[in-house]
Amino acid sequence: MIRNISNCAVWLAGALMWQAAATAPVAAADLGGGPADRIVEDAPPPARGWSLDFSVNGWLPWMKGDAVVPGAVQDVAVNLDVAPTDVLGSLDWSKLPVWMSYVELRNGRFAVFNDIVYAALSDSAGFEGRFLKGRINADVELAIVELGASYAIWQSGGTGASATSAIDILAGGRYWYQSLALDLAVGNINVARSGSIDWVDPFIGLQLRQTVAPGQSLLVRGDIGGFGAGSDFTWQAIAKYNLELRRIGSTTIDAFIGYRALSADYTEGGFQYDAIMHGPMMGITSKF
């Protein structure tokens, strides 16, 4: 059966070549014997459609600023000065201690994205004074969830994710959640206090995507927000260098390093939070 099909294919190809040879002189004669000029239009490249980037990353920030936590008798002012080593040493392994991820879904110039930062911290310390001796335990949960969209207002050297240079305008919302549980033991007296607060900050910003070499790219992003709807003011700045590690079929595995800074100034009732988190970040991205 296969041999018969092969014979038919050879016969058909020969017939088509004989027909082309027979008609070529006729076409030349119709044009006065000179070569026929042909205009061939390049077909547009096929649309790639949607692409997906999924990143798992680590961010080790310093935290500096001030916070005021309302109390039953009086407000408590806290000076925040936390180093990355303090964060790592206080991760609460009795639950999910940390999760940081970024997802981007892109089609041409348009993209939607989601960024998650979550950490559960637990720490304790003893204290001793002239008349008092005790211990305080603190459990803290922090979640920052970002959802937004971007559109390339300028690009060159390609389209969408394949553009070698692009400037995106972006907008979205950033959800903040903070909870604090304190357990104070002084002698035979135990006092427990807990509370949480959350808010949403709208934001707008710009993003630059630049290919610097094959398999290497830079991303620089800045945004501002709050505007009194959530925080009085918030801002963020990110710079990342991306390096392609390996291609597996249509999937690309990349690694990146960078730096991220995020600040918010929020006041609600007696609660105040005015701090900046900044530090290095690194991670792995799978591109589908």
232 or 79, which is more confident: 232
Give the per-residue pLDDT at 271: 85
Q: Does any domain span residue 199? A: yes
Q: Does any domain span residue 184? A: yes
Secondary structure letter of residue 159 according to DSSP: S
Query: Rounded to an integer, what distance in angstroms lies between the CA atom of residue 119 and that of residue 90?
Result: 10
Given pLDDT bands bounded at 50, 70 and 90, which one contains residue 211? very high
Give the per-residue pLDDT at 30: 44
Whether 87 and 159 share a structural domain: yes
Whether 10 and 113 share a structural domain: no
Q: Does any domain span residue 241? A: yes
CA dihedral 125, 128, 132, 136 (to 10 degrees): 0
Q: Does any domain span residue 45? A: no
Nearest to 215 by CA among 287, 147, 272: 287
Whether 19 and 147 share a structural domain: no
Q: Does any domain span residue 126? A: yes
CATH of the domain at 169: 2.40.128
Give the per-residue pLDDT at 74: 55
Whether 31 and 97 share a structural domain: no
Whether 27 and 152 share a structural domain: no
Whether 174 and 257 share a structural domain: yes
158: pLDDT strictly greater than 80: no
Query: What is 73-110 written as a DSSP string?
Result: SS-EEEEEEE-HHHHHHTB-TTS--EEEEEEEEEETTE
Whether 132 and 250 share a structural domain: yes
| In the chain, % of residues over pLDDT 90 | 57
Whether 128 and 261 share a structural domain: yes
Give the per-residue pLDDT at 136: 72
4: pLDDT strictly greater than 60: no
Whether 78 and 18 share a structural domain: no
Given pLDDT bands bounded at 50, 70 and 90, which one contains residue 9? very low
Count of structural domains, the chain: 2
Please give the residue range of the domain that contains residue 32. 1-37
Q: Does any domain span residue 69? A: yes
Whether 23 and 147 share a structural domain: no
Whether 85 and 32 share a structural domain: no
Predicted model pTM:
0.77
Q: Does any domain span residue 270? A: yes
- pLDDT, tens digit, 9 for 90 and up, residues 68-121: 877 655 566 778 888 999 889 999 999 899 999 999 999 999 999 999 999 999
Q: Does any domain span residue 44? A: no
Whether 13 and 137 share a structural domain: no
